[in-house]
């Protein structure tokens, strides 16, 4: 196989991921776009390792490091997304305060499972 094909495929994957990062408003889809970009980098590293003569398996080692970093990024990113959902009741990234002094309204905290709290729609139900 000619090495241009994986390089072009990696460029397309990275472009799609970059487009997803710039356009998406949902934080989960934003994380998926970042993962797509990291996988494109892995494809370039492994292709370069297979085609360029140099240190043995150095591209595969760097790809393994990228995979470890991607796993850590997903763990931290999903924790942030869950906390954002608990506080704001949405995972839309355009509702996040940018630190310009404007305070967005907080959503009410979620009731604990099994608690006997009544919501506004359950007031007249008793």
Cβ–Cβ under 8 Å, residues 78 and 34: no
Burial label for 8, CB within 10 Å (0-12, 13-18, 19+), is exposed
* Angle CA 63–74–67, to nearest 5: 10
Residue 52 domain flag? yes
C-alpha distance from residue 37 to each of 3, 6, 15, 27, 40 (Å): 19, 14, 8, 15, 5
User: Would the pTM of this model clear 0.85, i.e. be above it?
Assistant: no
pLDDT at 11: 96
Q: How would residue 126 be classed by pLDDT, with cut points 50, 70 and 90?
A: very low
Number of domains in the chain: 1
Residue 54 domain flag? yes
Residue 64 domain flag? yes
Residue 75 domain flag? yes
Residue 48 domain flag? yes
Q: Quick one: tokens of 40?
A: 């494109």
Residue 11 domain flag? no
Residue 39 domain flag? yes
Residue 51 domain flag? yes
Q: What is the pLDDT of residues 14-59, one digit of tens each?
A: 999 999 999 988 888 999 999 999 999 999 999 988 888 766 878 8
Domain membership of residue 34 as a residue range = 26-89
């Amino acid at each position: 196989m000619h090495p241009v094909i994986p390089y072009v495929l990696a460029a397309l994957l990275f472009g799609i991921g970059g487009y997803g990062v710039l356009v998406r408003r949902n934080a989960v889809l934003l994380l998926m776009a970042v993962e797509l970009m990291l996988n494109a980098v892995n494809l370039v590293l492994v292709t370069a390792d297979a085609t360029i003569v140099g240190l043995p398996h150095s591209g595969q080692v760097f790809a393994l490091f990228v995979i470890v970093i991607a796993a850590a990024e997903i763990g931290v990113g999903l924790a942030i997304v869950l906390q954002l959902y608990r506080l704001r009741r949405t995972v839309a990234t355009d509702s996040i305060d940018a630190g310009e002094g404007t305070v967005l309204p907080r959503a009410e905290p979620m009731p604990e499972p099994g608690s006997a709290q009544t919501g506004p729609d359950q007031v007249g139900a008793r």
